[in-house]
C-alpha cells in the first residue's frame, strides 16, 4: 500500500518566521495531495491541497509545492502567527480501484510570540 513519510515531527519557530514541512510518498500513481491542520481536541481540517497536474499552489500565507519525479511535496507557511500552532498532516491518495487517503505521522508546529 501507500506509504507517506513526513518530516520534521516537531518544528519550533518564532512569530513572523517561515515554516516548511516535507513529505514523500511511495505510490507513483498518487494524484492528490492535501494538507490538514489539527488543533487540540479537534478533528483535522483541510487547509490546502494540490493535484498532480500542478506544481505549486498558494493561498495567502500558505503554499504547497509538488515534485512528482522525486515523489515529494512540501507545505510552506510564511509570516507565521501563534494561531498557526497545531499539528499538520500531509496525505496522498492510494489508488486501488477506488481512492482513499493515507496520512503522514504529523508535524507539531509551535509558533512562539
- CA dist., res. 41 & res. 75, Å (int): 23
Residue 33 half-sphere exposure toward CB, CA atoms < 13 A: 36
74 binds other proteins (CB under 8 A): no
CB of 15 to other proteins, least distance (A): 25
34 binds other proteins (CB under 8 A): yes
61 binds other proteins (CB under 8 A): no
Q: With contacts defined by CB under 8 A, name the span among 39-47, 54-62, 64-72, 74-82 that binds other proteins.
A: 39-47
Amino acid at each position: 500500500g501507500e506509504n507517506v513519510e513526513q518530516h520534521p515531527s516537531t518544528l519550533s519557530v518564532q512569530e513572523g518566521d517561515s515554516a516548511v514541512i516535507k513529505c514523500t510518498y511511495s505510490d507513483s500513481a498518487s494524484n492528490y495531495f492535501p494538507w490538514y491542520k489539527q488543533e487540540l481536541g479537534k478533528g483535522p481540517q483541510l487547509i490546502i491541497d494540490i493535484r498532480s497536474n500542478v506544481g505549486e499552489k498558494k493561498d495567502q500565507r500558505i503554499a504547497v509545492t509538488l515534485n512528482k519525479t522525486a515523489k515529494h511535496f512540501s507545505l510552506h507557511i510564511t509570516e507565521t502567527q501563534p494561531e498557526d500552532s497545531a499539528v499538520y498532516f500531509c496525505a496522498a491518495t492510494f489508488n486501488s480501484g477506488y481512492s482513499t487517503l493515507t496520512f503522514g505521522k504529523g508535524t507539531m508546529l509551535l509558533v512562539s510570540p
